């Protein structure tokens, strides 16, 4: 039977209910996706000693213009004497070195050198002076590492810059603490021991090797944690939550008011 129409309101079918159905469907799909979405597995190993000579050749070709012929440093770049193989391995495997241009910010990129050349370069830098070696993590050690202890150490030492879920954060004057989502356990250990860029150095007396492995294990966990409550919203806390409540929550219910409050469908 008729929609009794008002003299002044034109009877017009609004597509809103259909839109809402679609939205609802999207919510359902999002929910299902959350349940079946694949989770990447962490993995990481690697240490070796390669020929120092091969490394020296590579070094002289690719690094010496900034770091000096024997890694003694220039006014453009710091000395590499004593930084250890761990530092070189970290910088090269994370693609931070070589820099695309002098003075650029060292950001994570795809590595320039293939793995065997990185091995050689690291061995060469490690041979310059005693320094932290490339760490290795035994399977036993990894399995024994206590996630809870790693978490406590991470919150006490790392979260202030890298954020509780390893999402990174801002530092002063345009510098940034990187997100840890791509860091392998070995890279995490190397960073702890060598303090790349502005990161402080943590010695084995402060954080012993088992503890460092526990931290690395926690980093692997927390950067890709299970989200029992639905979409993780980037694990960045109240800011994405505020965006969601305004852009989805408030906008959604206001749109519903527009639909409900309109005269006749």
Partner 1 sequence: MSDSDNRETGPDSPNSPEGADRGWETGGSVFDRSKTGSGAAATGGGAGSGEQALLQAGTSRGTGRAKKTAPVPAFLGPYATILAREEHPDREEVDRRSYRRGVRLVTFWFALAGVAAVAFIVLNFAGDVHKEYYTPVLGICIGVAMAGLGFGLVVWNKRLMPDEEAVQERHPLHSSPDDVVAFEEDFARGYQETGVGRHKVLRRTLLAAAGLLGLAPLAMIFNFGSIPHGELQVTRWTRGARLATRDGVALRLGDLPIGGIATVYPAIPDQNGKFVALTDNQTAADSTVMLIRLRPGEDQPVPGRETWSVEGHVAYSKICTHAGCPVGLYERTTQHLLCPCHQSTFLVTQHCLPIFGPAARPLPQLPIAVDADGYFIAQSDFIEPVGPSWWSRT
Partner 2 sequence: MSLAKRAQHESRFIDDRLGSSGFLKTQLNKVFPDHWSFMLGEIALYSFIILLLTGVYLSFFFQASPAETIYNGSYVPLKGVTVSQAYATTLDISFDVRAGLVMRQIHHWSALLFVAAISVHLCRVFFTGAFRKPRELNWTIGVGLLTLGIVEGFLGYSLPDDLLSGTGIRIGYSIVQSIPFLGSWLGFLVFGGEYPGTEIIQRLYVIHILLIPGIILALISAHLAMVWHQKHTQFRGPGRTENNVVGSRIWPKYAANGSAYFFVVFAMCGLLGGLAQINPIWLYGPYDPANVSAASQPDWYMGWLDGSTRLFMPWEFRGAGVTLSPLFWPAIIMPGLIFTAMALYPTLEAKFTGDRQYHNLLDRPRDNPTRTAIGAASIGFYIVLWISGGNDVIASTFRISLNAMTWVGRIACITVPPITYIFTKRICIALQKRDEELRTHGIESGLIRQLPSGEFIEVSIPLPDPAPIELTPAEPIEEGPSGDGARREGTLVGRAGRAVSGFFVNRETGPPGG
Site residues (CB under 8 A) for partner 1? 1-7, 17, 20, 24, 27-28, 31, 34-35, 152, 156-157, 159-161, 169, 171-173, 175, 177, 195, 197-203, 205-206, 226-230, 256, 259-260, 263-265
If the CB atoms of residues 7 and 148 are measured against partner 1, the closer one turns out to be: 7
Interface positions, 33-52, toward partner 2 (CB under 8 A): 34
Minimum Å distance from CB 171 to partner 1?
6
If the CB atoms of residues 165 and 186 are measured against partner 2, the closer one turns out to be: 165
Measured in residues, the chain has a length of: 265
H or E segment and range at residue 203: none
- Per CB under 8 A, does 31 bind partner 2? yes
Minimum Å distance from CB 85 to partner 1?
16
Instruction: Please pick, from the candidates 18, 21, 30, 69, the single residue that binds partner 2 as defined by CB under 8 A.
Output: 30
Dihedral of the CA atoms 189, 160, 151, 149 (nearest 10)?
80
Minimum Å distance from CB 111 to partner 2?
21
154 touches 219 (CB < 8 A): yes
Minimum Å distance from CB 106 to partner 2?
13
DSSP state of 233: G
Q: How many CB atoms lie within 10 A of CB 178?
A: 22
Residue of 122, 139, 148 lying closest to 214 (CA atoms): 148
Identify what 265 binds: partner 1, partner 2, none; CB under 5 to 8 Å per kind.
partner 1
DSSP state of 235: G
Identify what 195 binds: partner 2, partner 1, none; CB under 5 to 8 Å per kind.
partner 1
For residue 86, CA distances in Å to 26, 93, 131, 200 come to: 47, 10, 8, 15
Identify what 233 binds: partner 1, partner 2, none; CB under 5 to 8 Å per kind.
partner 2
- Per CB under 8 A, does 18 bind partner 2? no
In sequence order, what are the residues at sequence separation of 6 or more whose Cβ sits closer than 8 angstroms to the Cβ of residue 132? 83, 84, 85, 86, 87, 190, 193, 194
Residue of 186, 251, 263 lying closest to 220 (CA atoms): 186
Minimum Å distance from CB 29 to partner 2?
10
Contact region with partner 2 (CB under 8 A), list: 49-57, 113-121, 205-213, 227-235: 227-235
């Amino acid at each position: 039977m008729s929609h009794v129409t008002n003299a002044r309101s034109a009877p017009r079918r609004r597509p809103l209910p259909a839109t809402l159905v679609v939205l609802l469907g999207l919510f359902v799909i999002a929910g299902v996706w959350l349940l079946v979405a694949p989770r990447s597995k962490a993995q990481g190993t690697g240490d070796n000693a390669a020929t120092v000579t091969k490394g020296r050749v590579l070094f002289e070709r690719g690094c010496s213009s900034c770091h000096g012929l024997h890694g003694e440093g220039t006014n453009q770049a710091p000395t590499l004497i004593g930084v250890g193989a761990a530092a070189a391995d970290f910088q090269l495997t994370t693609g931070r070195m070589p820099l695309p241009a002098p003075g650029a910010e060292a950001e994570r990129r795809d590595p320039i050198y293939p793995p065997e050349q990185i091995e050689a370069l690291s061995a060469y830098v490690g041979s310059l002076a005693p320094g932290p070696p490339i760490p290795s993590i035994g399977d036993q050690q990894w399995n024994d590492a206590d996630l809870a202890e790693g978490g406590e150490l991470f919150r006490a030492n790392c979260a202030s810059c890298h954020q509780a879920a390893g999402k990174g954060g801002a530092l002063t004057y345009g510098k940034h603490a990187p997100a840890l989502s791509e860091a392998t356990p070995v890279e995490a250990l190397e960073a702890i021991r060598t303090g790349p860029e502005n990161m402080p150095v943590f010695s084995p007396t402060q954080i012993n090797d088992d503890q460092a492995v526990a931290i690395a294990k926690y980093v692997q966990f927390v950067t890709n944690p299970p989200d029992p409550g639905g979409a993780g919203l980037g694990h960045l806390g109240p800011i994405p939550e505020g965006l969601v409540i305004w852009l989805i929550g408030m906008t959604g219910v206001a749109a519903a008011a527009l639909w409900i409050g309109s005269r006749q469908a």
